[in-house]
């Protein structure tokens, strides 16, 4: 009985920004749990590589490239998935970018770039999938938040602003969509080793700071995000709504 609660067989899951990193790990977890998985990126070549990597591991996934920062492209992409693959039961908003600059040196372009990918895209995808989920009276939406949804750091103000907004978007969506049997929750990763932060991991000063600041004393591994993603996508989380689960090795728990 308990295993069945976490089984995603028969479900269709869409994961944005899933050609690598956190999104790739979540897509792999969903496939392993039995879901029909649709991976997404704005770059077809990167998506094809990710699809091939998953195929090598024994997972046949669908690849649908489109730009999640373009609301028209999102509407068309979601329609394509619903028509050609199946109704989306699970949607993960993972696509994100990081642009660093001192606050007084943040350009209009930098600000817009971060907001378009880290906030606007979450709204565009969530709006497109939730309309259909509401008609079917079921659905799971998982927004990837961050430690930066709760705390700030120098040089990443646009990122923390966007991730803080995603946290509140998650709660606002819950208030409106829960009545349609749609669960909207978030995952807030701590410091995880990915292709995007290799430079930080290899910076001894920063690496030492992360390990000292995190009670677990280390960076997270991507496999350690898979369980919480499957949980939130499954029937085991049917009464969990509007929450952000921080997977951070305890970082937010101490001073």
d(CA 53, CA 30): 15
Catalytic center residues: 159
Q: Which residues of 175-205 are buried (b: 16+ CB within 10 A; e: fewer)?
A: eebeeeebbbbbbbbbbbebeebeebeeeee
How many domains does the chain contain in total? 1
The model scores a pTM over 0.85: yes
**Residue 161 pLDDT grade (very low, low, confident, very high; cuts 50, 70, 90):** very high
Phi, psi of 182 (to 5 degrees): -110, 125
Phi, psi of 80 (to 5 degrees): -60, -45
Domain that holds residue 145: 2-253
Q: For 33-48, what is each residue's pLDDT tens digit?
A: 999 999 999 999 999 9
What pLDDT was estimated at residue 254? 87
On whether the CB atoms of residues 91 and 140 are closer than 8 A, the answer is yes
Q: For 228-254, what is each residue's pLDDT tens digit?
A: 999 999 999 999 999 999 999 999 998
What are 115's two structure tokens?
Answer: 């907001």
* Mean pLDDT score of the chain: 98
d(CA 236, CA 5): 5
CATH assignment of the domain containing 76: 3.40.50.720
Average pLDDT over residues 72-91: 99
């Amino acid at each position: 009985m308990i295993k069945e609660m976490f089984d995603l067989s028969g479900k269709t899951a869409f994961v944005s920004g899933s050609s690598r990193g956190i999104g790739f790990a979540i897509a792999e977890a969903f496939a392993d749990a039995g879901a029909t998985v649709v991976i997404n990126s704005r770059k077809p070549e990167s998506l094809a590589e990710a699809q091939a990597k998953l195929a090598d591991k024994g997972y046949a996934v669908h690849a649908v490239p489109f730009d999640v920062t373009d609301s028209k492209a999102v509407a068309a992409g979601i329609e394509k998935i619903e028509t050609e693959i199946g109704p989306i039961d699970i949607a993960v908003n993972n696509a994100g970018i990081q642009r660093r600059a001192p606050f007084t040196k943040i350009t209009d372009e930098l600000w817009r770039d971060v907001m378009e990918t880290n906030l606007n895209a979450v709204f565009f995808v969530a709006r497109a999938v939730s309309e259909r989920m509401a008609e079917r009276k079921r659905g799971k939406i998982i927004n990837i938040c961050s430690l930066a949804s709760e705390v700030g750091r120098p040089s990443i103000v646009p990122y923390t602003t966007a991730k803080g907004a995603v946290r509140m978007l998650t709660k606002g969506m819950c208030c409106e969509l829960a009545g349609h049997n749609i669960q909207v929750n978030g995952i807030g990763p701590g410091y995880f080793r990915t292709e995007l932060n290799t430079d930080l991991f290899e910076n001894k000063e920063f690496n030492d700071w992360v390990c000292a600041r995190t009670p677990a004393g280390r960076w997270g591994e991507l496999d350690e995000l898979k369980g919480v993603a499957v949980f939130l996508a499954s029937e085991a989380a049917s009464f969990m709504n509007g929450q952000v689960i921080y997977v951070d090795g305890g970082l937010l728990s101490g001073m």
